[in-house]
Amino acid sequence: MRADRLVAALLLLQARGRVTAAELAEELEVSVATARRDLEALSAAGIPVYPQPGRGGGWQLVGGARTDLSGLTAAESQALFLLLGPAGSGEPVLASALRKLVHALPATFRADAEAAARAVVSDPAGWGEAERETPALVRALRDAVVRRRKVRLTYRGTERLVDPLGLADKDGTWYLVAGTEAGRRTFRVDRVDSAEVTDLRAEHPDDFDLPAEWARVVAEMERRRSLVSAVVLIDARFLPVLRSHFARHCEVIGQEDGRVRARVGAHLVRSIAEQLAGWGAMVEVVEPESVRAELARIGRELTERHAEHRPAGS
């Protein structure tokens, strides 16, 4: 992201004193034009960065100026440590980085920042589940994203060379967003047969925004997960339970005879019927007829199966 590059450019200027656009481009692995635009953006933002023409010239911080990159407000520092504190408890490297950041904060902020870091504990494992650890494959792919290296993936039996752009953790399931010859694709990491990080330079668009791309992926997946819908009637007191079953695919559309009319969705007619079957007479399916017919079929199947096991004389 551009904000990351601007910070990296400023750190490089502070470390070297003076750099050319070509040197910065090589260091940040971007084009010379992009590096020049970043330097100009720093100058436009009020940071005393100016170009020095002529032989031996370049861009430099005037007068050896230094910029305090820890200039967070009290609220910002607390928010940062509330977010990173739980992760730091399980990652020694991150915990060390957080300690260093604490010391970089203004003294008046440190106590609240340290308290924020200890205010929340994150336990991603459900009851009865083993503790979740980041898979080794995820760590390798994460390294490839950071280092911008192409990865040779074998995914569901097909091998392809991809440009890794970012990773997303969706409720414990990891996904890789990558560029391919066929365009941008998303791969479920636990379905990757093998992955080899190469020394080839990966292409990474300057304007790529991982949160925005992941939001697009989620929206598309949710659309596919609700290709079929049904209208149901249910007592208002049971509506929260219905919503917990169908989550974002449950929409209240009105009321009728003291009951709530709602639209629920899933990817198949069978999926909707299976989720509603356990409700018995508490839910009435108004439409479509295909869901009503599937519910009736499930009912007959259950009746026939369990009628076979009636005790003698019953």
Average pLDDT score over residue span 31-60: 78
User: Is pLDDT larger for residue 237 or for residue 310?
Assistant: 237
User: Is pLDDT larger for residue 97 or for residue 266?
Assistant: 266
pLDDT above 70 covers what percent of the chain?
A: 83
Q: Name every residue whose Cβ is closer than 8 Å to that of residue 276 and which is 6 or more positions away in sequence.
A: 230, 232, 264, 283, 285, 291, 295
pLDDT for the residue 311: 60
The region of weakest confidence among 41-50, 69-78, 95-104, 204-213 is: 69-78
Q: Does residue 29 have a pLDDT over 50?
A: yes
The region of weakest confidence among 6-10, 35-39, 241-245, 271-275 is: 6-10
CA distance 227 to 298: 21
- At residue 1 the predicted structure's pLDDT band, cuts being 50, 70 and 90, is very low
User: Is pLDDT larger for residue 133 or for residue 239?
Assistant: 239
- At residue 190 the predicted structure's pLDDT band, cuts being 50, 70 and 90, is very high
CA distance 206 to 34: 8
| Per-range mean pLDDT, top range of 27-36, 74-83, 136-145 | 136-145
CA distance 69 to 78: 16
Q: Does residue 266 have a pLDDT over 80?
A: yes
Q: Does residue 263 have a pLDDT over 60?
A: yes
Cβ proximity of 117 and 165 under 8 Å: no
pLDDT for the residue 91: 65
Rounded to two decimals, the pTM is 0.58
